[in-house]
Amino acid sequence: MPTLKQRLLGHIETVAGEHLDLLPEAMAALPLFLRERFAIFSTRLFGRKFLLALEAEDWESGSPGEYGKHHETLRRSLGDNVVLVLPILPSYARNRMVQMGIPFIIPGSQIFMPNTVIDLRERFPQPSARRRQTLGPAAQCTVLYHLLRGSLASMPLKEVAQKVQYSPIMLSQVKDELEAAGICKIVREGRSLVLEFKAAGRPLWEQVQPLLVSPVKKTRWVQWPQPAATALLAGMSALSQRTMIASDRLPTYALTLTTYQDLLERGDMAGCADAESATARIEVWSYEPHLLGEDRMVDPLSLHLSLRATDDERVQQQLNRLIEEVKW
């Protein structure tokens, strides 16, 4: 599949009839979390200079408010003509960003660059095979909540949204994903739509495993002198607490992207180049680990998913033991 940069070049050439020359820009002035999330290029389009911030394709789409904050920080650091280049953006988020006046390009789909070019036709790219074959983070979190925290069956979707802490709009997407994957069907009870799961407990876990992925989006070495009391152990640190296997030298913690960024911005945590100078390893998760975790550790099912790709036979044995001990 073409990269975001390649799709951008092709889309601009199709829409504007111009070939872009993208020149990498220095990013040292940007906060670490923005350097990780975006690559910055300068270019000229319609006789004007723009700075294009290309979002890394392994990041989940953010909210309009989140992109607004990122755009403002980029604009203050780099200059006024900053345009976000995003792999994908739901229509409701696009509409809100237009209202907020945030310039963006979704290559192959939409362009919103006020006073330059606006193309907001509804042309969404087909999802890749990988996306179709796995659940998104919100859908995965919902299934794991149902398995670990209490049944969501026959519960109005509005209440499900409150339980799993997602918006009703996101829950509507989750509903469609779960139904398309054959995990549940949607039935109407009175005025409400509810989820009716086709399996329960261990059989449901076995059914959905091929559709689930590691919650870990990326890992980082950091100096974190005083980890928060609410921080949840993850990775080998959590596995060693739940089984007989030895822990790694440095503790591993699971954080959401927002929490990780906040800690960096406040100076409570600093990034490191390698493990030698670090005091902790951070896993940035695609969903909130506290929603499912307990006893200062991440939940056993997400832990299993985060480590199941390891080649260490001892780890695999303990992961099997972990699942056997789950109270379905």
pTM above 0.75, yes or no: no
Burial (CB count within 10 angstroms: exposed 0-12, middle 13-18, buried 19+), residue 141: buried
216-225, 265-274, 280-289: the lowest-pLDDT one: 265-274
Tokens of 68: 């607004």
4-119: in CATH 3.40.1350: yes
pLDDT at 1: 58
Higher pLDDT, 40 or 158: 40
pLDDT at 123: 47
Give the whole-angstrom CA distance, residue 116 versus residue 178. 41
pLDDT at 119: 60
* Residue 293 pLDDT exceeds 90: yes
* Residue 191 pLDDT exceeds 80: no
The 10 Å Cβ neighbour count of residue 187 is 11
Give the whole-angstrom CA distance, residue 304 versus residue 307. 5
Domains in the chain: boundaries: 4-119, 129-211, 216-324
**Cα-Cα-Cα-Cα dihedral of 301, 302, 307, 309, to 10°?**
90
Q: Kindly report, residue by residue over 221-277, the tens digit of the pLDDT.
A: 999 999 988 899 999 999 999 998 998 899 999 999 999 999 999 999 999 988 899
Q: CA angle at residue 316 from 326 to 310, to 5 degrees?
A: 120
Mean pLDDT, the chain, whole residue set: 88
pLDDT at 126: 44
Give me the half-sphere count of Cα atoms (radius 13 Å) on the Cβ side of residue 138: 21
pLDDT at 117: 65
List the beta strands (DSSP E) in 107-191.
Answer: 110-113, 117-119, 184-189
Q: Kindly report, residue by residue over 41-74, the tens digit of the pLDDT.
A: 999 887 789 999 999 987 777 788 889 999 999 9
Cα–Cα distances in angstroms (integers) from residue 194 to residues 21, 154, 159, 207, in the given order: 51, 5, 10, 20
Do the bridges between strand 117-119 and strand 184-189 make them parallel or antiparallel, or are there none, so unpaired? Answer: unpaired
* Residue 125 pLDDT exceeds 70: no
Q: Kindly report, residue by residue over 65-84, the tens digit of the pLDDT.
A: 889 999 999 999 988 789 99
Looking at the chain, the whole-number percentage of residues with pLDDT higher than 90 is: 57
* Residue 15 pLDDT exceeds 90: no
CATH architecture, domain 129-211: Orthogonal Bundle (1.10)
Looking at the chain, the whole-number percentage of residues with pLDDT higher than 70 is: 94
Provide the pLDDT confidence category of residue 132 given band limits of 50, 70 and 90: very low
pLDDT at 127: 43
Q: What is the mean pLDDT of residues 108-129?
A: 63
Q: Which residues are within 8 A (CB) of 282 and not within 5 positions of it... i.e. 6 or more apart?
A: 219, 220, 221, 222, 224, 252, 253, 254, 255, 260, 269
75-84, 118-127, 169-178: the lowest-pLDDT one: 118-127
pLDDT at 101: 92
Give the whole-angstrom CA distance, residue 172 versus residue 170. 5
